[in-house]
Amino acid sequence: MRDVEISRAIVEAYFNDILQNLQLDVAIVGAGPSGMVAGYYLAKGGAKVAIFEKKLSVGGGIWGGAMGFNRVVVQESAREILDEFGVDYKPVGNGLYVLDSIELASTLASKTVKAGVKIFNMVEVEDLVVKDGRVSGIVVNWTPVKMTNLHVDPLTVEAKFVVDSTGHGAQISQHLLKRGLLKSIPGEGPMWAEKGEELTVEHTKEVFPGLYATGMAANALSGAPRMGPIFGGMLLSGRKAALEILGKLGGE
């Protein structure tokens, strides 16, 4: 075994993945809970899908639980998704379940990858491709390039649909706002867990032709409340987006 053989194996495998994912059915931006759940159900439904995550780690805000207490809560309406993924939980009353945030994040990631989703971490989406009034791809660069403000041109990935799963900032939808293609992004309202969970799912939808918003991005776009360390709405939001997109892909 030589060092160069190790390097060659990594480079060839990674660049093969890039080449195989330059044209997608769905490009998901953000590997948080709603993004990974959307990717899982899309891949299970036969779509070609990849997730692009600007951070080194995936999982979004799951890992820290609440105030660093690595536990989160999921409500009854999303329990079947926990069962689908095989995540353990304990009932705590009033239709709520508590679970280990480390198990949730790691299991979502593992099951999503095993379903056939490619995750590209440390890759930042710096813009959208818009053609004839429809989002039709993403513009990508290495996260360290963006962090250091180096003048390095990006590459593009073609996609029939793009999903903004970037959380509180709705960073992908912001690209449309600054070009006048979206009227406004009001941002999240004050904390109200019950209403926030409900509206996260309600506002998961196609916000611009070819662009879906899930999870906290959906709440930011609609001005709905934030909800803190309860994650059922995130899971349900990802599944809802996936099923709607699969329906549209099937109708093509």
pLDDT per residue as tens digits for the range 74-91:
999 999 999 999 999 999
Q: Is the pTM of this model over 0.95?
A: yes
Share of the chain above pLDDT 90, in %: 98
Contacts of 218 (CB under 8 A, 6+ apart): 200, 203, 204, 205, 207, 224, 237
What is the C-alpha separation between 134 and 26, in angstroms, rounded?
A: 14
Q: Give the burial string for 160-185 (b: 16+ CB within 10 Å, else e).
A: bbbbbbbbebbbbbbbbeeeebbeeb
**What value does the mean pLDDT of the chain take?**
97
Q: Please determine, for residue 252, whether its predicted confidence score (pLDDT) is greater than 80.
A: no
165 touches 215 (CB < 8 A)? yes
Angle between helices 232-250 and 215-222 in degrees, nearest 10: 90
Share of the chain above pLDDT 70, in %: 99
Q: Give the burial string for 219-247 (b: 16+ CB within 10 Å, else e).
A: bbbbebbbbebbbbbbbbbbbbbbebbbe
Q: What is the mean pLDDT of residues 178-204?
A: 95
Q: What is the mean pLDDT of residues 126-137?
A: 98
49 touches 43 (CB < 8 A)? yes
What is the C-alpha separation between 166 and 126, in angstroms, rounded?
A: 12
- The encoded tokens of residue 221 equal 């776009």
What is the C-alpha separation between 62 and 64, in angstroms, rounded?
A: 6
Q: How many residues does the chain have?
A: 252
- The encoded tokens of residue 73 equal 């809560």
Burial label, 4 (beta-carbon count in 10 A; 0-12, 13-18, 19+): exposed
Could you read off the pLDDT of 134-164 as tens digits, one per residue?
Answer: 999 999 999 999 999 999 999 999 999 999 9
Could you read off the pLDDT of 107-120 as tens digits, one per residue?
Answer: 999 999 999 999 99
In the chain, how many H helices and how many E strands?
A: 9, 11
| pLDDT band, residue 192 (cuts 50/70/90) | very high
29: part of which helix (H) or strand (E)? strand 23-29
Q: What is the pLDDT of residue 22?
A: 98
The domain locations on the chain are 22-59+113-250
Grouping H, G, I as helix, E, B as strand and the rest as coil, residue 114 is helix
Could you read off the pLDDT of 17-52 as tens digits, one per residue?
Answer: 999 999 999 999 999 999 999 999 999 999 999 999
Q: What is the pLDDT of residue 68?
A: 95
Q: What is the pLDDT of residue 1?
A: 77
Find, among 234, 165, 164, 167, the residue nearest to 197 by Cα.
Answer: 234
Q: Give the burial string for 100-115 (b: 16+ CB within 10 Å, else e).
A: bbebbbbbbbebbbeb
What is the C-alpha separation between 115 and 158, in angstroms, rounded?
A: 21
Domain covering 22-59+113-250: architecture: 3-Layer(bba) Sandwich (3.50)
DSSP 224: P
